[in-house]
Amino acid sequence: MLNRMNDILQKLMPIMTPASVVIGILFYQALDNFLFLVPWIFALMTFTGSLRSNFSDLFKVMKHPFSLVITLFILHLLIPLLAFVVGNWVFPNNPYYITGLILAFVIPTGITSLIWVTIYRGNIALTLSIILLDTLLSPIVVPAVLKWLVGSSVEMNVMGMMQGLLGMIVIPSLIGMCVNQWMKKEATEKLSTTLSPFSKLGVIAVVSINSSGVAIYFKEFNHELMIVAAVMFILTIIAYGVGGIAGVLFKQDKPTTISMMYNSGMRNISAGAVLAITYFPAPVAVPIIIGMLFQQVLASLVGSMIDKLSNRVEEQSVLSQ
């Protein structure tokens, strides 16, 4: 029953997140009272996602870290710097939107990238290692890059942000890895199977509650919000593209290139929303909430493109023979 429930929720992922944003905006008065639950729900989601990985997987990839280092460079330097440049160009008088854009692209890669990498036969070990290392580094990297790019233009609670990342992401991940490393495989798989559907329901809860916190900015969807949506959409596509191109340029195999593409394009956007709402002025969360509308949809579209390209390559190889 839980497996069936998990499969159904997994198939609904591309529409689940945008629907949750709409629910949060429509029912903001009721949901806004549950903001205090979000860090706890998110910690459970992170713990569940980490049950699939252990320290042994990380050490194996660290022996050949080239693709991992390139992906982290794209994640935390190249794309955030691009978001900074584009944000200052499009919103020169709105430091909140600029900060929101940078935060949206400096947060760790999304745990859900593992789902898409698995579906499209990417490098699972590399993906797990990127997620784990990125997660462990996030309390240092995220505040440092934000401080570098944003400076004092927007008030931010750096220590609070670091504590939030530790509590929501790092500590639950380490516990999940320890469980995978030292518990019997059957027991870990049973625990993961049991928690997985509740973790996906947690996505609905976190996104809905976070969206309620900034619902006031979406009451009138004006041209400015449309521009924010367009910028987020284009930057996300660029992030996927840069990851894929990097894999091809550096002559990585197909599974590794797929993993680099998904981990460069996807972000733990729910965590970004929690950070924005908890530690920044409310408008900072607007670009991130908008990004939630299409992140999973784009992931699905990218996967469809991978399939089409693979089919073309196979057809051409058959014809050439």
How does residue 99 score in pLDDT terms, banded at 50, 70 and 90? very high
CA-wise closest residue to 170 among 144, 133, 124? 133
Q: Are 172 and 46 in contact (CB under 8 A)?
A: yes
Per-residue pLDDT at 203: 76
What span, in angstroms and rounded, lies between the C-alpha atoms of 62 and 226?
42
Residue 313: is its pLDDT beyond 60?
no
Residue 136: is its pLDDT beyond 90?
no
Residue 319: is its pLDDT beyond 60?
no
What span, in angstroms and rounded, lies between the C-alpha atoms of 41 and 53?
20
Q: Tokens 């495989």, residue? A: 185
User: Structural domain boundaries of the chain?
Assistant: 20-320
Fold assignment, 20-320: Na+/H+ antiporter like fold (1.20.1530)
How does residue 246 score in pLDDT terms, banded at 50, 70 and 90? very high
Per-residue pLDDT at 153: 62
Q: Sign of the C-alpha dihedral, residues 279, 285, 207, 51?
A: negative
How does residue 235 score in pLDDT terms, banded at 50, 70 and 90? very high
How does residue 237 score in pLDDT terms, banded at 50, 70 and 90? very high
Q: Tokens 């942000």, residue? A: 161
Mean pLDDT of 92-109: 90
Residue 228: is its pLDDT beyond 80?
yes
Mean pLDDT of 114-139: 79
Contacts of 166 (CB under 8 A, 6+ apart): 139
Give this prediction's pTM. Answer: 0.78
137 or 89, higher pLDDT? 89
Per-residue pLDDT at 147: 86
**Burial of residue 241 (number of CB atoms within 10 Å: 0-12, 13-18, 19+):** middle
Q: Which one of 23-32, 64-73, 189-198, 289-298 scores highest in mean pLDDT? A: 64-73
Per-residue pLDDT at 310: 66
Per-residue pLDDT at 6: 76
What span, in angstroms and rounded, lies between the C-alpha atoms of 191 and 61?
25
In the chain, what is the straight-line distance between the N-terminal and C-terminal CA atoms, in Å?
Answer: 47
CA-wise closest residue to 177 among 24, 52, 310? 52
Per-residue pLDDT at 243: 92
How does residue 87 score in pLDDT terms, banded at 50, 70 and 90? very high
How does residue 236 score in pLDDT terms, banded at 50, 70 and 90? very high
